[in-house]
Amino acid sequence: MITFEGVTKRYPGGAVALDDVSLDCPTGEITVFVGTSGGGKTTALRAVNRMVEPTSGRVLIDGRDVREQRPAELRRGIGYVIQHAGLFPHRTIEDNIATVPYLLRWNKKKARARALELMERVGLDHSMAKRYPFQLSGGQQQRVGVARALAADPPIMLMDEPFSAVDPVVRAELQDEFLRLQDELHKTIVFVTHDIDEAIKLGDTIAVFRTGGKVAQVDTPENLLAHPADDFVAGFIGQNRGIRTLSFAGTGELRLSDDAVRPVTADAADLTGLDWILVVDEDRRPLGWTRPAQIGGSLSEAPLAPVGPTFRVGSDSVRVALDAAVLSPSGLAVGVDDAGAVVGTAAGSDLLAVPTHGNGAGGTGHGAGSDG
């Protein structure tokens, strides 16, 4: 556990970057520092590996003051990922990843083997091992950055806006893989971001920093959305926090309708009274939407509109289901099971009627709501 005890950082000019910050970052969990720029979240992060020395107060790792260790040694035991990866341009990818192992005097063979192993872990092809950073895309560089931070298997990782310099699609991919990695590795992670959506998606705990370096609220994402401590937090979370709350409602207890689902072999005769039909194959995998009026003879010849996005019953949140409903040509969200077979459909209005507190599996798949 990382503990901040009354940490204050005042710069010589009088500017206060951190004002009496006290909070805990539990072991094996992701704690997100979120806030406006100038809120001190990065300063707080850097106090952990002594890139910033507090004016007063102290930072403890598992009860031990970080100042007891020499900075260089302390830092070799803490992974650090920053916005623009900060890869060494003059070293190959594998040597970049093996940086800390080299510093710790591992032998070269072992360090390189570890680098290859990590490349696999973060989804990089082995063929990139001998390339140089400039030959990689932004998203790939960021993966290398994460792999480099993990190289010596540090129990703690500090991540300073690691995904904000890449485009939204890549960012979502990196976030998902990051959560998958964390499920395997259970690192103690401090993650800084200015993006509240990212904070809600990734955080087990969220600390909201406000201007002047004060912590406005430390809470679980659900509680933060449901009960913002003050106007600043409410304002920071934004207008659509109602919709965001749906991220924490599971789809496991939704009642899905089978009325509109028809196998492709079905007779076209008994379709009256339905606006839209979801045509499925023999394994109940969705093929597309069609309207009874468009059907001449059998369903197999009917013109089909694309299914659109679907949601996984149980593991996806109601927010994902709502998205699927809005984007579906029929206005109905298609729920599928893990094999991709259709469980049933739900209308947008049904989804909004779902109670959103204290139930269901977490929408983010890493156990944020599993204690509810």
The residues of the shown chain that bind another protein, judged by CB under 8 A, are: 49, 51, 71-76, 78, 80, 82-92, 99-100, 103, 132-134, 145, 148, 158
Which amino acid appears at position 233 of this protein?
A: V
Whole-number minimum distance, CB 90 to another protein, in Å? 5
Whole-number minimum distance, CB 93 to another protein, in Å? 11
| 148 vs 171, beta carbon nearer another protein | 148
Q: Are 225 and 249 in contact (CB under 8 A)?
A: no
- Distance (Å, whole) CA 63 – CA 58: 11
| 148 vs 366, beta carbon nearer another protein | 148
**In this structure, what token pair is assigned to residue 71?**
């900075």
| 119 vs 215, beta carbon nearer another protein | 119
DSSP letter, residue 309: -
Whole-number minimum distance, CB 32 to another protein, in Å? 19
- Distance (Å, whole) CA 278 – CA 247: 26
Whole-number minimum distance, CB 88 to another protein, in Å? 6
Q: Are 130 and 50 in contact (CB under 8 A)?
A: no
Nearest residue to 347 (alpha-carbon basis) of 223, 286, 281, 260:
260
| 132 vs 232, beta carbon nearer another protein | 132
Whole-number minimum distance, CB 91 to another protein, in Å? 7
Whole-number minimum distance, CB 98 to another protein, in Å? 11
| 94 vs 350, beta carbon nearer another protein | 94
Backbone angle region of 49, left / alpha / beta, with phi > 0 → left and psi within -120 to 50 → alpha: alpha
Backbone angle region of 264, left / alpha / beta, with phi > 0 → left and psi within -120 to 50 → alpha: alpha
